[in-house]
Every structure is written in structure tokens, then in C-alpha cells.
Structure 1
Amino acid sequence: METPAEQTTQTPSPLGGMRASMARGGAIVSRGPGAIEWIALALSVLWLFMVLAFWFFAPGVAGAASLFNTVSLMVGMALPIAMIWVAAITARGAREMRAEAQALKQSIEAMRMAWLNQQALRSDQSVERKLDEIAAVTRQAETTIATFASRRDSHATQPSADRKAALVAPPPLRPDDTEPMLALGTPAEELRAPISIADFIRALNFPDTPEDKEGFRALRRALEDRSTAKLLRSSQDVLNLLSQDGIYMDDLTPDRARPALWRRFAAGERGREIASLGGIRDRSSLALSAGRMRGDTIFRDAAHHFLRQFDRTFGEFEKNASDQEIAELAETRTARAFMLLGRVTGSFD
């Protein structure tokens, strides 16, 4: 069975602390007589001894026994003893009141500290929520600024993203003999309209849900383009391999890099000057990917193949894309995989 002290230490709440403190104060009576009671008892015995000694040893007192003397003796014996115990009970009550007041003070202090801690916790949560809102507004502002800072042709207006071609590839020198030829000798692939920038970006992000009809339409459209299809297949391979370790692009929140930095990357610049492109800071994802890169040959080959395809395709995309469209591409799942694997392989070192 637990002692009252053990039961008191196990009570976590402030109100429990009040009950425990009151229990400690009430334990004074339950433990038996205290110092005050022993002092009162000693004084009572001493007084009785003095009265009896006076009765038996004082000359002529014992022989002059009468009703008045007997009553006086009894009153003389009982009245001081009663006063002694009244004083003892009063002292004990005062001590208990002081103990209860101290316990009440401690419980109020505990409640005050609990309230302060709760307010501090709520304040921290409010600050985090406000910081998230500020970050979201900042990202939106950066996107808006990028829209106005987009490159514009001084002689012509840029077509919209759903009409402008995503990739600017050089025309082939001659048609491949293995391709199906039309009557005039033109490959069927060259007569197909190029994929638009809007579909290209939507395809690189892959469909969000099985009901994402626009996403699947853009994906089918992108797979008809040879260069884009290579990038999409390599991206799908690395995304599937990363998901085996529980790494999903939707869980990552990369730092946003300026479109000008992406253009420098497309122009061939490498190293620390463009290190901001590797905006993935999630340590667990970086550590898991680095370990997989060292120990899994298939993953390493797929990652390097994906990085080469992204490098080549983005170089073509940048030539015909505005800063706003580059910023939108950087938010896709494929671009996040590039940031993650680029940091793991040291492409930005």
C-alpha cells in the first residue's frame, strides 16, 4: 500500500496538488499527539503532582478536610488543567490553519505556473501559424514578381502557356529511315503539334488523383513527345524508388530559387554558384537518399539517368519559357526530385 507521501507525489494537476497539500495538513491529527499535546500532558501531570504534594505535605491541610475544601481542591486541580488543554487545542488549530494556508498558497502558485505554461504554448503555436502564413504570402509575392519580371519580346507578344511550345528542339537533319513516312517524305511525328508549356508543366507534376482528368490528358500528350517521354519515364522510375523508402515529393517543401538562377543552370553553369537550386533541406530524406545511392546500384543508375534527362530537357524548355513558367515548373514533383537527387549527388557543390 502506498504511503500518503507517495500518493501526494503522484498527483500531477494543480487541484491534485491542493488535495495533496490538504492531506499533508490533515495528517497532523491522524499521526497521533504532537509536541503541543505532549507539553500539555506534561504540564497537566506536573500540576496534579504539585496539588497532591501540597495536599499531603502541607501542614494541617489534609486534616481539615471538609466539603468546601474538597470542592476547592477539585476546582484547583481541574481548572488549570482545562486551561492548559484549551491552550493546547488552540495552538494545534493555529498550526493546522498555517499548514492549510501554506498548502493553499502552493496550490495557487502551481495553478499559476500551469496557466503561464499553457499560455506560452498557445503563443508558440500562434507564432508558428503566423510564420506559415507569412511564408505563403511571400511565395505568392515572389510568383507575382516573377510574372512581371518575365522576359518579353520587344517586337511581339508571347503566346499563352497553353499555346506556346514547351521545348525548342533543333530540326533533324534528315528523317530517320525507321520512322513511318508520309507520301511527301515527312515523318508523322513532325506533323504533330508540339506540347504546350501548360501541358508540359502539368505532366511533370503527374496526376494528383485517379480523377485528375486534366493531369492524365497532359501526361498522355507529353508521352507523345520523344524528349518529354524520356524525362517522364526516368522521373517516374526515381519517384517509385524513393517511395520505397517513404520519401514522397508532396512531403517536401523546398526553398524557392529565383528564375534567373534556373536560367544560369540551363546555360551550363554548375557548382556552388547555383547551390540554391538544391532547395531540399529535409535531413531524413537526404540521408535516406544518400544511403540508397551508395548501396543500391539500380537506384544510382536511375538517379544519374534522370538528372541527365532533366538537364537536357530543361535546357530546351528554358529557351521558350517565362520566369513565371520556370517558377511553376520548379514546384512540380519532377523538379523536387531533381533538387533532392542533385544535392545527394553533389551537383550543386
Structure 2
Amino acid sequence: MACALFWGSAVSTSWARINALETIETYGFAVHQQLLYNFAVHGDFFQTIHMGYDDAWTWSGHRALTLPVVAWMVGFTKGIHGLGIISAFLVSTGAFWSGLLARQRMGTWGMVLGVGLFVLSPCAMVIAVQDYQDLSLALPALLFCMWALGTQKLWLVFLGVLVGMSPREECVALVWCVAVLFSPQDDQWAGIKRNLFCCFVVTLVVVGGAEWLYPFQNSGHDMPLQNAIRTLRQGTVFLTGWPYLERFYLLIWVPLGLLACLSPLVAGPALVLSFLHMTVPEGHGVDRSWSQHSHHMAPAVAFAISASICGAARIWRWSRRFQANALGRVIRVVFWVI
């Protein structure tokens, strides 16, 4: 009965929640679409809508390998709706990778939990249907990377590392964290060494190849990552975003963030990313509202979802270990109640 009531209320309000979302900065959306379309047609990023926009910033500033890929897909569409459909579809694939990650950790029924955690996450919903920047794809890309690095197939590990690093330059360091945190369960140390080797090779190819094809240009834009690093080096750190803790940052742990407490190492990158996001001063390229540009939090959402999955998997393993006695039954009941 409780499940039926929850499902009924969720379904009855989900469409209203989606209708309440609006594309962020429609002129920016048009600029982004024209940049990608022109790259697909003419092989170069340029646009004619906003003359104060630095076209080179789209590639040389952000180093997003996903931009040429998405641009190629946009080339097959007509109008701005094509980019919106592509962005929503690509981000929504994170539900599948989240399910595979949970299945890898918990078995077949774990896939239901993994998909549910992604679908019920309000942050994932917002990023999928509202944002359109390249870093939004870090949500599905990192979830795919986490699952791929936990497999036994070397080619899949290389692919996972490449996909994980593609959304933007911040993801390169995050994939190295994934390489240590996610490895095959039967031989973790050997898996970590394999993952780190793949990260080293792909990093050389991605960073070196991008610099060779498109040399870095300092366009004058203050990138959020550069600003955060510069702020930390000053010695005095101001948590400008702390007042937004409850109405913005804590929402990445919805709906079952309590489970992430049982997997603190996986949850750690999400906390660090939230901390770095807090240090960026107002007006320096980040927003602290899910109704605005929230793509900078997409990697944190990926780690929050995966931490909840790993925490649930730990409870599941405990219940199976003690399934013959009363403790195991209590653990399993508590797990399903949570």
C-alpha cells in the first residue's frame, strides 16, 4: 500500500515538475546550437547571434571531446529542437548505466535500484531536460565509466576512460578517482593497476591530441575550474555558496543519499566538488540554483548516485552474509524500508 501511494503521488506530479522546467538562457541555447551546427556543416565553431561571445571558447577553452560528437549528431537534425532532444536523450542514458552499475554490485535485482535512483533524482531530471552545456554529459559519461572500469574487459576499460574524460577538462582528474574507486570485485588491486594504466594512456592521447589539433587559447574567460584552483592557492578560502547548502547542494543526495554514508570513499568526490563549487565567487561562471546553469554539478550528481548504489550493495552483502540468522533478516528488512 505504501509503495502504491508513493508511486501514485510521484506519477501524478512528475509531469507538472517537468512542465515547470524551462531552458536556461534561450539566447545561449540558440548560440550553442548554431555553434554545433556550423561545426557539423563547415568544420569550425562560429555563430552570428551574440557578437560578444567568444567562439573559440567553445572548443579551445573547454576541451570537451563531446562537442564534435554532439555537433555531428546535430548535423542530422533541423532546428533548435534537435539539440534539445539529443541532450535530453544522452543525459537520460545515465539511467541505463546506473542500472548496470547496480547490477554489477548487487545482481539482477540491483538494476531496478540503480535505474530508480537515477530516474527519481530531481537533479538528474533538471540536467536532462533543462541544461544543454557540454558538462551535462558528465552525468551519464562518468556512470558509464564507473561501470566499465568494474568489468574484466580491457577494451571496455579503455572506452570507459575515454568516455569519462570527454565531457570537459575537469573530468580527466575525476576519471583517475574512478580508476581507484571502481575495479572488479574479485581482484581489486590488479584491477586498480589496470585502470590507472589505461588512464595514463588515454590522458596522453586526449590531452596531447587536443593540444596538437586545437592549441589552447587564453580567450579571457574565467573558467570555473581555473577560478576555483586560483582561489584555493590564495590561502584564504571563502565559502560563498554555503548559504545555498540546503536549497541547492544537498539536493544531489535525493532520494536515497543516506545510503551513501556507507560508501564514504565514493561519496568523497561529490563532497569535494560541492566544496569547490562553493568557493567560486558570485558572477564567476557558476549558478547556485537548479533553475539556472547547473551543469557544473553534473559530476557530483554522478558520484552521489554511485555512492548510494555502493552503500546499498554493502547492505545487501551484509544481509547475505548473515542471512541464516536473525541479524541478516533485520538488515534486509531495514534495507528495503530505506
- Scaled by the length of structure 1, the TM-score of the pair is 0.23
